[in-house]
Structure 1
Amino acid sequence: SAPVAVATASPLTGNAPLEVSFTGSGSTDDVGVVSHSWDFGDGGSSTLADPVHTYSSPGSYTATLTVQDGEGETDVDTVSITVTQEGTPGECTALSAPWSNSDVGSVLAGGSACSDGQTYEVSGSGADIWGSSDGFHYVYQQLEGDLEITARVVSLSNTDNWAKAGVMVRNNLSGNSAMALMSVSPDPSYGSGPGYTLQHRSVDGGTMTSSGHNLGPVHVGMPYYVRLVREGDTFSGYASANGTDWSLLGSRQIPMGNSVYVGLAVTSHKNGVLADAVLDNVTVTGGSSSGGNSAPVAVATASPLTGNAPLEVSFTGSGSTDDVGVVSHSWDFGDGGSSTLADPVHTYSSPGSYTA
């Protein structure tokens, strides 16, 4: 007979980083279970019967146990893990350096933005980000050179099917600036639900048209991650359901100056009415401050550096420095796990040599 997989875990919920003890040794088979294979749902895995795994990032995960007996028969069981944000979110307050915010173009209702350091709440009016001139609210910083901006669009008011929230790079802060926008809208195909698009204005003062300046929409759920990458005058738009597996929507050539404005854009597509958007997991990498900002200095330490599996390691990145402040940390533990905490804890389930 086929084996019977039995997967349990404790705890089932908690703040990140969350260490979970999994148990698969309760699985049974008439001729004996010969192997266990765990997929923790965040890129981590183990072949132990009863492994320990640490989830570094908030989210909902499904851990899958596959057991096999001596005759090659298999069975699968799953257990759900919910990881919440560490600590209590703070009050949403005015933006701090390096971020600024302002309305761009023609808006009939003034926008606003605030952050608790992890989540950004942005309200914007404006007729659209489209045509010959844009109207929206912008949270931005001025940077030079190649760069990348990523954000997760958690929610957006459905003030219009084509309301937009996402990440943007633009040449200047005038309404008709050259720009690239990777955004999510509530229902851009009028009946298919949320979708993401890559839109651009090729030159300052140019006009955007559906035939030449729009890629998408691609229909997805919300929340959803969006990303813009600038390499010279090439701007590429990406999207992801989980912030790990990315799909390239397309790339466009958009001549811009070395110094650009990069940030979060929200338009209601209904001028005079505010659309409220929530974005998190915001990161900006590459680029340098137009004011002569120096690059940060990353300092990574860990303890212990060696030990038997499963090995729990405490990482420290909070010693990294920058002249205007470090705004984000991103760890890759080398085994498929990752974290955006400054000082995460991660458990290596399998023997091997890893570079974090």
Structure 2
Amino acid sequence: MAICRRKIWGLFFIISLLCFLLCPRVWAAGTISVPPFTYLTTPASATYWGTVTVGGQGPKVGDVIGVFDSSVVENSGCIGAVAIDQAMADAGSYSIATYGDDPSTQQKDGAAIGDSLTFKLWRPSEGTMYILEPASGVSAQSWPGDQQVVGNYHLTSVGAEPQGAPQARFTSSATGGCAPLSVQFTDSSLNNPTAWSWDFGDGSAISHEQNPSHTFSQPGTFTVSLTVTNALGTSAPYTQTIQTSALPEADFSLNTSTGRGPLEVSFTDLSTNNPTSWEWDFGDGTSSTVRNPVHTYTQPGTYTVVLKAKNACGENVKTKAGAVSVQASSSNLRAAFTLAAGALEDCAPLQVTFQDQSTGDPVSWEWSFGDGNISTARNPVHTFQRSGFYDVSLKVKNAQGDEHILTQKKWIHVLIKPLADFRADKTIICQGETVKFTDQSSGEPTMWRWNFGDGWISSKQNPEHKYEKPGLYMVRLIATNKCGYSLEQKRNFIEVRAPEVDFTTQQTGNCSQLTIQFTAKSPQGEIENCHWNFGDSSQGGGSSNQPNPTYVYSRPGIYTVTLTADTPCGRATKTKQIAVSGVPFASFAPSANPGTVNQTIKFTDQSTGGPTSWEWDFGDADHGTSTQQNPTYRFKQPGEYRVSLKVSNHCGSHTAVRYIIIVNAGENADPIFTPESPICSGQEVKFVTATPTGVSISDWQWDFGDGTPGTGSNPSHIFPSPGTYHVTLTASGSLGKSYSLVKSVEVHEKPLISAD
């Protein structure tokens, strides 16, 4: 770049740093240009200076002002920048050093005559980029003598730069309440909108404030919508629902207001503004909370009825004086009844025969049994199919049209066999804790028998029980009444835990550090008062009282680690063996060597260093392999086999090799040798060798025990004198397997031959 060739390193560093802050942003279209500045034909610098205001205030410490040339390729067109320090902020002015284009670079790397420049201010404290424009009446002067161009630009804010089409967002201080409801709306739209349009959904005027407050004067559901605009477009509407309520207006109607007693009156709620509860006072000392109740007046008189309607906004009362007028009956008609057969309480289905005992010469009867069924018979028979309490009512009339009603509340009680069920306040506890059991049986049981699974029982309806020993317990409940019984049992319902602590490990750092991160935990919750023993005998065992310690082991290996800690269920101890890994060292042993054909040979891994994977190659024609740690294998042919084990972990790998001899059943597995005949000193004796099937010997080395070596599979040798000699044969197999055999031979004195 031309700046670098000018060797102005300090200034270059400052400009590069500031441009790094300013230039990576993608500038939106529509930026405001300033007049081009003049510079010399040789590479020359220019300085722009002046004052700047943002929102009527001068620059702040930390603000950065930059100059941009849209035709410059590098640094997103940033050709100069300055960070506002305290002195500039106090003075309210700044100066920016910029550079012209260097034609020799064959690349546009600075400003030239005719270029359009843009000035921008980045305010990190707000995270906002402002576009700046020059004030009117600006001028530029050049001084060729000192190769400097000065432009006096007074720059004024024109607002934050859009980062794209805006997206409307807002929050509200409330989404519901009682009217009149005042709500403060706060704009949180994206991409710096410059205009706002609020529609509150209640027919009021549109608001163009950024953060308006609005009062919803009427109850209802209102959809509030915000649309925002900036230089790059208009957003889609963003909506939110406001729900307002009002104080209820209580009102009601009656189906009848006068008549002879007993007089049945139906009341209908006519309240507005959505009441949620109702309180009726019928004026005769009775009341109701039903929305639309039915009430029977039994005594003559005039009654004032009061309804109180409530909702979240408050309550309202409607009073109707003299709403009901009841005249005395002119007859002695009185309804009465009893049971002729059946029982007032028994098991379903319950059949009952009712007997009318009314007086005053009734001529008609109307029964209501409380289960939705009615009858007009004088002495009806009715069967109650379902359990529960039933109100039985009889209305009688005489020939003059007088009527009288008698209602027996909860007169019939129908039972069914119970259906046992229960719950517990907790099902996982520590030993010694108490569990509260709650009967949830249906069918109105009258007796209960609990079995808690640990040998204890109870006959209470809702017992409590303490479990002393850890384990899983089945709980049983038998619920009984006069209609029968039911059993509910829940297997493994209560889990009683002994104190339990555990820990995890993770090897951290590189493999040469052998650093283990320990983390203590308990399924019963938080633990405290931890004590660790890391099992490192080389460092006195190693210990810590931290809950999650880090420990550095001196060498790889298997270590027994013990953690003791207090849990919510008491003090507990956990012991584990952990593998501390370095680069593993492979080693193994076969269960038989030599072995025989089709014999199952177990290969036992004896590797150290914490391997995590194993790769076995059994070296036979079947290409037998395994990834088990301790595999078994059968060789199908006699021979000498090269068995290899490669062990690996995250630190590396290592391979070990052993040779396995397989022979036919009954064969010797090693080469053997014998002298051909009895041995006498001074006479040549031949040694004969034999090798097992499948074993190939590639080299024979002999030591005859008299200082003389030999080679070959069947050598000859002369022992110089009688005595005992230790003959050694060293044989090398084709796969590198070595055999060493030692045999003692007796050499006798050569017999003298007589002439006789």
Structure in which a larger fraction of residues adopt helix: 2
Using structure 1 for the length normalisation, give the TM-score: 0.23
The higher relative CO (CA closer than 8 Å, separation ≥ 6) is in 1
